[in-house]
């Protein structure tokens, strides 16, 4: 009962005259997050998730610099978990560690470090998944959360020049999250719709990343292969939209935009262990004023469920993470 991979794309920013033009449209730690379907058969879990996003970007020439091209790979290892303090309430925590690299005009730059931690609480409005009298079973969850500025956002190179914002592990801002997830199922086949709004605040450098809106529709199929083995194939479409970033009150034209993705994935359940993998490919996009090209996104994960079992609808839980995806 799990779902994977929601990705987001958009741009980054500058905080010094030198960084203010170069590749301010690439992806990094300041993106939104994603939802997903998680196992509901036990109260708590902890796990790890590895994500990798690949982007190509172009920075047009300015009065200070010539045009440039960049190839970026953003990798993130998430440590995450879920805890049920109350029957209808779940609390999720996410701690990312980022590994970024960018090749711009044949010059390779790499950064790494702890990202911004996220804490999210979801409330189950209704859930008919354990009703034996209903053919169609559904659930609705609403939630809110906060992302804390735990990651560094002022890393510099050996000359003391600050790296581009898209290569910083953190954002420097405290941001608010609101989400909703609806799941409908008949037998072993179901559909999930989720949506999220992220409200960003200004960081100490007077930079505010654009507010984001994300939505997704996914179909899934549940199949038991044995007493302790089950699979959950899934397919869907996701949409991510972002407003432009604002720096000292001025909109940054090379940021913001939208991207639609098709994603395919599979989760395998072996008793309390869940292993998943998924891939996302772009369908249509306009990012960073048309200067960013997403090349695809890959994610693999493993979670271990523990605690007292609870009878609830298979898939119904939203998953959010500061998936670093893209800053805008």
**CATH assignment of the domain containing 68:** 2.40.160.40
Q: What is the pLDDT of residue 313?
A: 42
Q: What is the pLDDT of residue 25?
A: 40
Task: Name, in order, each residue with C-beta under 8 angstroms of 39's C-beta and a sequence gap of 6 or more.
Answer: 1, 2, 45, 269, 274, 303, 305
The residue range of the domain holding 113 is 42-309
Q: What angle do CA 292, 25, 103 make, to 5 degrees?
A: 80
Residues across the chain: 328
Any domain includes 1: no
305: its two tokens:
């469920």
Cα first-last separation, the chain = 30
Any domain includes 105: yes
**Residue 179, CA distances (Å) to 138, 201, 237 in order:** 17, 18, 17
Any domain includes 63: yes
Any domain includes 165: yes
Any domain includes 21: no
Consecutive 10-residue averages of pLDDT for the chain (328 residues): 34 31 41 56 83 89 78 95 91 96 92 96 88 84 96 92 88 95 92 93 92 93 90 93 91 89 93 92 93 92 80 43 39
Any domain includes 252: yes
User: How many CB atoms are closer than 10 A to CB 107?
Assistant: 9
Any domain includes 89: yes
SS3 288: helix
Number of domains in the chain: 1
Q: What is the pLDDT of residue 35?
A: 53
Can you give the pTM of this predicted structure? 0.83
**Residue 120, CA distances (Å) to 43, 151, 157, 173, 217 in order:** 16, 18, 34, 17, 21
300: its two tokens:
């693999």
Any domain includes 198: yes
């Amino acid at each position: 009962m799990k779902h994977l991979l929601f990705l987001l794309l958009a741009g980054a920013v500058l905080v010094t005259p030198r960084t203010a033009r170069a590749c301010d449209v690439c992806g990094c730690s300041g993106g939104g997050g994603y939802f997903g379907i998680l196992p509901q058969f036990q109260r708590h879990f902890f796990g790890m998730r590895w994500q990798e996003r690949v982007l190509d970007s172009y920075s047009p020439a300015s009065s200070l610099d010539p045009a440039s091209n960049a190839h970026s790979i953003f990798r993130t290892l998430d440590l995450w978990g879920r805890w049920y303090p109350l029957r209808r309430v779940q609390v999720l925590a996410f701690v990312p560690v980022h590994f970024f690299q960018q090749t711009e005009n044949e010059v390779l730059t790499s950064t790494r470090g702890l990202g911004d931690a996220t804490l999210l609480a979801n409330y189950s409005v209704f859930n008919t998944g354990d009703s034996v009298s209903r053919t169609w079973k559904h659930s609705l969850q609403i939630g809110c959360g906060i992302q804390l500025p735990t990651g560094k956002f002022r890393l510099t190179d050996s000359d003391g020049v600050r790296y581009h914002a898209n290569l910083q592990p953190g954002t420097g801002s405290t941001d608010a999250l609101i989400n909703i997830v609806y799941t409908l199922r008949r037998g072993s086949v179901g559909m999930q719709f989720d949506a999220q709004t992220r409200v960003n605040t200004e960081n100490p450098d007077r930079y505010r990343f654009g507010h984001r809106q994300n939505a997704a529709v996914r179909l899934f199929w549940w199949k038991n292969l044995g007493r302790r083995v089950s699979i959950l194939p899934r397919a869907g479409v996701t949409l991510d939209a972002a407003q432009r970033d604002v720096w000292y009150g001025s909109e940054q034209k090379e940021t913001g935009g939208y991207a639609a993705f098709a994603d395919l994935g599979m989760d395998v359940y072996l008793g309390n262990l869940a292993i998943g993998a998924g891939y996302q490919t772009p369908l249509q996009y306009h990012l960073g004023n048309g200067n960013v090209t997403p090349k695809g996104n890959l994610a693999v994960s493993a979670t271990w469920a523990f605690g007292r079992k609870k009878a609830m609808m298979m898939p119904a839980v939203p998953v959010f993470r500061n998936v670093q995806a893209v800053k805008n």
